[in-house]
A and B are shown apart, each in its own frame.
Chain A
Amino acid sequence: SAVISQKPSRDICQRGTSLTIQCQVDSQVTMMFWYRQQPGQSLTLIATANQGSEATYESGFVIDKFPISRPNLTFSTLTVSNMSPEDSSIYLCSVAAEYEQYFGPGTRLTVT
């Protein structure tokens, strides 16, 4: 299994600012994903971040708004840029193991 940590665990930010969320894994993994989850709702995939290649974004998500870095096989960052209240959500990173995916504890973001 993989142990995933995220920083920060929660934050309250002002409209128009940016926040960078860090995801650290205790083992080397090729495939890493970023999801968004509104409280009480399902998970929505933002992008796939594989080391050595550009992130692949899902429909409705763009690089200018959610830039992602993947400098090595154990770390990734997601930036939420020019935030608005609609960006308030829980952001989770996950990694793919042989069959399953492991999720980090999430970053709860509130934009005021």
Chain B
Amino acid sequence: QQPVQSPQAVILREGEDAVINCSSSKALYSVHWYRQKHGEAPVFLMILLKGGEQKGHEKISASFNEKKQQSSLYLTASQLSYSGTYFCGTESGNTGRRALTFGSGTRLQVQP
């Protein structure tokens, strides 16, 4: 079952902050965050693992609430380059298959 992302779209001015949420009905092993620009491949931003481990870009922060199976991506002091569609990808269970189920995406537009 596809994780639910919110909001569907957000428009920011440069320097403003945004939070993107991802919620799953399944017990999660990990949550991945990707950004995709139009016509390009998705690019890895961060992974949050069950147990608290995180790996990702220094300027990106995120949280993972294991009890609620929810994750949030925090974009602070947004830049024009942050524009794109953000997807969360979830891996459920403990299979280690690394196969991801992606949310519907959040379209972010940063304006000057």
Interface residues of B, dominant DSSP: loop
Q: Is the CB of A43 within 8 A of B41?
A: no
Instruction: Establish whether residues B47 and A44, one from each chain, have CB atoms under 8 Å apart when the complex forms.
Output: no
Please tell me the number of chain A residues within 8 Å of chain B, measured between CB atoms: 20
Q: Within the assembled complex, what's the spacing in Å between the Cα atoms of A70 and B97?
A: 17
Taking Cβ atoms with an 8 Å cutoff, the residues of B that contact A are 2, 32, 40-44, 47, 55, 87, 89, 97-105
Kindly count the residue-residue contacts between A and B in the assembled complex, taking CB atoms under 8 Å apart.
Answer: 49
- A100 an interface residue at 8 Å Cβ cutoff? yes
Q: Are B87 and A100 in contact (CB under 8 A)?
A: no
Asked if A13 is at the interface of the complex by the 8 Å CB criterion, the answer is no
- Establish whether residues B100 and A100, one from each chain, have CB atoms under 8 Å apart when the complex forms: no
Q: Contact at B41–A106, with CB atoms within 8 Å? A: yes
Considering only residues 40-91 of chain A, those with a C-beta below 8 Å from chain B are 41-45, 48, 56, 58
